[in-house]
Amino acid sequence: MRQSFHFIFLVLISICAFYFVKVDSSSLPLLGKTIYLDAGHGGVDAGASYKDILEKDINLSIVKLLASKLENLGATVYLTRYGDYDLSNIGVKYRKKSDLYNRAKIINESDADIYISIHLNSTNSAYWHGAQVFYDDVCDENITLARVIKASLGTEREVSEITTMYFNRLVVIPGVLVEAGFLSNSGDRNNLVNEEYQEALVDKVVLGIIDYFSM
């Protein structure tokens, strides 16, 4: 009788364990993954701008929203900046280079599986528009991550390889640069300052990240 009870107990434990794992894998698809998010610019470095619309503010808004959604799916998320500041050392001659170096350093020293850097584009022409994903060939996985996120975004602009961006060249874990749109384009600009558009954009990036880790 005792052996039968023990057997039934083990069966029930196994069923519960299976159900728990199944729930975690479906409702928390990013459980166990660590992701670093980088909001470009900050502090005295506003990035691109249009009148009082500043790239640094939109970058941070998108990153914070992205962090929240990723955490809700089980990921551990870190940000290179949580407010309006840069990461340069005090008194350095080349502030921008110091900022980018320190961003790369904290990401490299983390146990992150991937990083996503969020920026906005701007050109002298109002013609160009749309999101674009850039990658550096420093990691073999970068092109795969770039293609998956590009597909999820549904953007017509193809992924582009860059090997001259100081920050992306320094980071040795897989990651990409997402240019969320052009501040120099009125359509993109109106979208980028819209909270609903930002949320829709973030949802697409999240789906891309899930697809990447599901491969």
Per residue in 46-82, pLDDT tens? 999 999 999 999 999 999 999 999 999 999 999 999 9
Half-sphere exposure of 91 (CA within 13 A, CB side): 0
User: 166 pLDDT exceeds 50?
Assistant: yes
CB atoms within 10 A of CB 89: 11
Q: For domain 32-214, which CATH number applies: 3.40.50.1580, 1.10.3720.10, 3.40.630.40, 3.90.650.10?
A: 3.40.630.40
Name the token pair of 105: 């350093």
What pLDDT digit, counting tens, does each position of 88-123 carry? 999 999 999 999 999 999 999 999 999 999 999 999
Residue 25, pLDDT score: 60
| Domains in the chain: boundaries | 1-28, 32-214
Name the token pair of 115: 């990083």
Half-sphere exposure of 77 (CA within 13 A, CB side): 24
